[in-house]
Amino acid sequence: DTAVSQTPKYLVTQMGNDKSIKCEQNLGHDTMYWYKQDSKKFLKIMFSYNNKELIINETVPNRFSPKSPDKAHLNLHINSLELGDSAVYFCASSQEQGATEAFFGQGTRLTVV
């Protein structure tokens, strides 16, 4: 009964491919996020959705397209993958906007070769 689950956990793909990462939370939270952790462990927010509505888009290239079919799911689709996209992508959720605690998934390690 994982609270925030991401699939896949590992993803190795070639440059130019399109891939998706799925995220689901069973906490009943209204807000979900995608964060990117680079090779130096630096974490930066990419997107935030509240009740399926995009709230934050932190100047992420438009090759990245989040999709929230319902408030329990926030998927991340990446087109035309580049070497620099290699990172660990974390999904997270929180009770509501401006909530004081975010719950993180286990991460998806994306390697672009």
Q: Which residues bind other proteins (CB under 8 A)?
A: 4, 31, 33, 35, 40-45, 48, 50, 55-56, 58, 90, 92, 97-107
Q: Strand ranges (DSSP E) for 38-105?
A: 43-50, 53-57, 64-70, 73-78, 87-94, 103-104
Among residues 45 and 72, whose Cβ is nearest to other proteins? 45
The span from the CA of 78 to the CA of 8, in Å, is: 14
Output the smallest distance, CB 95 to other proteins, in A.
12
Among residues 40 and 84, whose Cβ is nearest to other proteins? 40
Output the smallest distance, CB 80 to other proteins, in A.
26
What are the Cα distances from residue 29, in Å, to 15, 39, 77, 92?
34, 29, 22, 10
Output the smallest distance, CB 21 to other proteins, in A.
14
Among residues 27 and 55, whose Cβ is nearest to other proteins? 55
The span from the CA of 34 to the CA of 49, in Å, is: 9
For the record, the structure tokens of 100 come out as: 């004081």
Among residues 26 and 79, whose Cβ is nearest to other proteins? 26
